[in-house]
Amino acid sequence: MQILLIEDNPSIIKGLEYSFNINNYTLIAKTNIHDAKEYIKNNAIDLIILDITLPDGNGLNLYEDTIKYLQIPTIFLTASDEEDNIVKALDNGAEDYLTKPFSTKELLARINKILRHYHKNNLIKVQNIVFDMEKLILTKDNQVIELTALELKIINLLFTNINKVVTRNIILDKIWEWTGNYVDDHTITVYLNRIRDKIGSNIITTIKGIGYRIDEK
């Protein structure tokens, strides 16, 4: 479980790193908007804890411009208790708003509640592979697996039908629907082999002569 803390106060960072570690959360801290954007762009994140006042800008703007479109659950943790900021953050889709000084136990409780709800609805985990049904992101050990648009659609089809066989004919029909191009049976095998190679795992089971299946284990 990877949580991104965007905060420039060293004492808060140090205290939360310790508390989160003993609660089995991986906490990554970034102290400015620039570094946070780069990290968000290249990594899978389960939740963001975001300050408003940062050295190179405003956390509310970062949320509005970037985070909310990626639909990453976000808690604002800030000294700003202005009503307008609270309303703006929550109206734009933030899950919660907590003002400093704060209780670490309360913060963890709020995080646990958000993640239980969010993961129940959006994430499917098979072994060490996680597929986010809402964001269409496939990760392995919290690292994003880069897939082409068509490969991602095939993966989405398999995860949408978790524990069920998706026939080769259905995949052929879907590729025609998605691309307008005809592909033959051999091409399906090529696509699935490429996806397997990128995943580096055996989560996709071949049902000989019929199709493919991913089982929730």
Residue by residue, pLDDT tens for the chain (217 residues) are: 789 999 999 999 999 999 998 988 899 999 999 999 999 988 878 899 999 999 999 999 999 999 988 878 999 999 988 899 999 999 989 999 999 999 999 999 999 888 877 765 677 888 889 898 878 899 998 889 999 999 999 999 999 898 899 999 999 999 999 998 888 889 999 999 999 999 998 899 999 999 999 997 6
Residues 10 and 98 in one domain: yes
Domain-embedded: residue 135: no
Q: Return the closest-CA partner of residue 73 out of 4, 158, 168.
A: 4
Q: Are residues 154 and 196 in the same domain?
A: yes
> What does the CA dihedral 207, 209, 210, 215 come to, rounded to 10 degrees?
10
Look at residue 119 in the predicted model and tell me its pLDDT.
63
How far, CA to CA in Å, does 212 sit from each of 20, 93, 186? 39, 37, 14
Total domains present in the chain: 2
Domain that holds residue 74: 2-124
Neighbours of 63 (CB within 10 A): 23
Q: How does DSSP classify residue 32?
A: S
Q: Mark whether 36 and 101 lie in a shared domain.
A: yes
Report yes or no on whether pTM surpasses 0.75: no
> Do 10 and 105 have their domain in common?
yes
pLDDT attached to residue 217: 64
- On whether both 14 and 105 belong to a single domain, the answer is yes
Q: Which two tokens stand for residue 169?
A: 């004919």
Residues 153 and 55 in one domain: no
Does 18 lie in the same domain as 65? yes
CATH at 26: 3.40.50.2300
